A and B are shown apart, each in its own frame.
Chain A
């Protein structure tokens, strides 16, 4: 879409955001949420729920070189799809999530690129308009639920507040809807939990409250930023199952950020690997795990093998250099790559398609040699 349409759009939405949202809600309440045609020009591709185009985010730093947190990220997420985003800490996962929400933390700035959601560019919308979208059309689940919730308010109140703000419900209607959400995230004894404060809940329970808050307005797009990492495995299994069902029932899409590559294998349709602000490999889960192509992906998977010889084969001895080293020129991963050659230092690889549904950013991908 042309960026010129945005100001015109702003003006219209700006006049009475809540009215528009209310009208939308009346139309879709109780039914599967669909894109509201009046609020957005037809998306470029009707199957695409959210589209990230050439997105770069920098964190300027005084006296030192600016940190490029995201460098030309392209990502299309389809309707009803769950995409897993995996990478080590500092690879830009959370920055991407925040850029999608239109809230890159200062001093970070979106240098170029756009995030198209509902036909609008999230990186260029004014705050007032973003507030109408966040929580309503797109929402985010965070880790450490107990520190994210307001300790001075009952959880019922906190869930209801979202519905009151975005759906224009009365206090009583919102409370009823919140109670219904507590039931659908399967919190036992919901009448009592409604009146509980966050510290009275277990970690798993608090995480369910976060899910309830994220889903109460039936958003089209949900981001989970490491939201299950603090949970015990049996509780995590329950929470993941619940998320999957709720996301599927609502026909929503999801970006699932995690450090645990094991979850993506069972929970996501596609997986995107991030390294140093770039997507280095992206593919359907079955293709990716059957034939991982980027040496970084293979190195990560090798870490789960109990065969030391195989692991050593894919892990470069980085003695003398921190294991997190990122190359300034050429391929960013080359200092840690067992396959790095001359070309990798000279030329930065582009993301290219290996086969249908599987792309990699590498001059010498692993599978080409055997495929």
Chain B
């Protein structure tokens, strides 16, 4: 059995003063194995964070199930329950805001252990061990968050998550508030920690460059629905859903030579999750859409090993495929440029 199994998850939020509901998550199914990273990518309003909250049991799903380590998450079992404490953790987007400004970093790191009723001596030992692991010096433990840089603060956030040796960490945009240098350091740290600790990550992000590097599997969300799911390498090299293609080609990598004409240009913006389109959710923005796609929801099709896509036109798109992974090309170019003048 997988560490995490999400089946047909639906999440509806009622609108105050209306009978309508916000359909934030629509029939999402996912699995995540021990020690693996599954990334959820999509634009704002695509339901990434809501799925993360359902996984932690912070909200009761409107439909479907979330099963973590054999336990059904929701009203009767969540990250807040004593039996679950320490097994699941969460890292937030804004490191500065997720730490108490008046509590010393060392105490913040020890807090989860205190809740688990670990004694003082063991706690201190473990905090020191974790601090070293996430690259914080002993002196930092006596500081308050305001004295640290953004990158250091996020190291504290990650340290606080791994201190209880969790099986799963939900990382909700952990790098988007950081500058590029701090961001790459945090990503390196996450990759290294996963190797050492065999923790599974549910990585929520809109930064595709980071996702490419960090993930084993990637699920692309659009209006709360998974439109494509595949291994990271497959998804970046051979995306089959028009939305994935549009999303990937919208990322502007710092290299002017990577100016390929986009295969798909998406028009307009994400529709409202209150009045969902009848057929394919992307129909209003998709260059491949026709009458049929506007009326009917496409089924999930298997287009390769472990590669699923929800699109009627995936064969048409496969025929146009150019198989060029700009992210990969960028990395090769960057290595060449950065090797110049290396002393």
Q: Which residues of A contact B (CB under 8 A)?
A: 88-89, 188, 202, 204-205, 232-238, 259-267, 285-286, 289-292, 298-308, 310-311, 313-315, 319, 322-324, 339, 366-370
Contacts and interface: CB of A to CB of B under 8 A. Distances in A.
A305 B269 contact: no
B334 A262 contact: no
B259 A266 contact: yes
Interface in B291-332: 330-331
Contacts of B149: 322-324
Contacts of B43: 232-235
Interface residues of B, number: 46
Interface of B: 43-44, 137, 149, 151, 179-184, 188, 206, 208-209, 213, 246-247, 249-259, 265-270, 330-331, 334-335, 337-343
Given A236-B250, A305-B338, A299 B255 contact: no
Contact of B44 (A188, A232, A313, A314): A232
Contacts of A236: 250
Contacts of B183: 303
Contacts of B342: 310, 313
B188 to A, nearest CB: 6
Contacts of A310: 334-335, 338-339, 342
Contact of B209 (A205, A292, A304, A319): A304
Given A234-B266, A237-B252, A264-B254, 4 more contacts: A232-B44, A289-B254, A290-B337, A301-B254
A301 B337 contact: yes
A307 B331 contact: yes
A35 to B, nearest CB: 30
15 contacts: A235-B43, A235-B269, A259-B179, A265-B254, A266-B252, A298-B338, A300-B181, A301-B334, A302-B338, A303-B183, A307-B335, A319-B137, A322-B149, A323-B182, A369-B343
Contacts of B266: 234, 237-238
B256 A304 contact: no
By Cβ-Cβ distance, the 5 closest A-B pairs, closest first, are: A303-B180, A232-B43, A366-B341, A262-B252, A237-B250
Given A205-B269, A292-B337, A301-B334, A323 B250 contact: no
Given A262-B253, A266-B259, A289-B256, A369 B341 contact: yes
A301 B331 CA distance: 11
A171 to B, nearest CB: 31
A319 B148 CA distance: 12
Contact of A306 (B151, B206, B331, B341): B331
B259 to A, nearest CB: 6
B213 A306 contact: yes
A370 to B, nearest CB: 5
A46 B234 CA distance: 52
B255 A265 contact: yes
B95 to A, nearest CB: 14
B338 A285 contact: no
A110 B184 CA distance: 37
